[in-house]
Amino acid sequence: MQHEGQPFVRAQAATRLQHGAAGVTDEIWEEAGAHFTEEEVGAITLEIALTNFFNRINRTIQEPAGRTWG
């Protein structure tokens, strides 16, 4: 897998947890470790978690992202 595409694979796996999805598998973790340092993997993971958090909050309060920006 290409270096640039790996975070997107992690993001999708971390986001799609419903309906029995596997989540972030050992294979995805190993692939991340092959391309990024432990610190970078942590930063990517935090960014994924924050993005998911804000998306879910916006969905809950029925506020589409960007509507009130700027």
In this model, does residue 3 exceed pLDDT 70?
A: no
- Res 38: pLDDT: 93
How does pLDDT run across 20-58, given as a tens digit for each residue? Answer: 788 888 998 898 889 899 999 999 999 989 988 988 888
Task: Give the domain ranges of the chain.
Answer: 3-60
Q: How many residues are present in the chain?
A: 70
Helix, strand or coil, per DSSP, at residue 37: coil
Assess contact for 10 and 48: CB atoms under 8 A. Answer: yes
pTM score, whole prediction: 0.70
Q: How confident is the model at residue 70 (pLDDT cuts 50, 70, 90)?
A: low
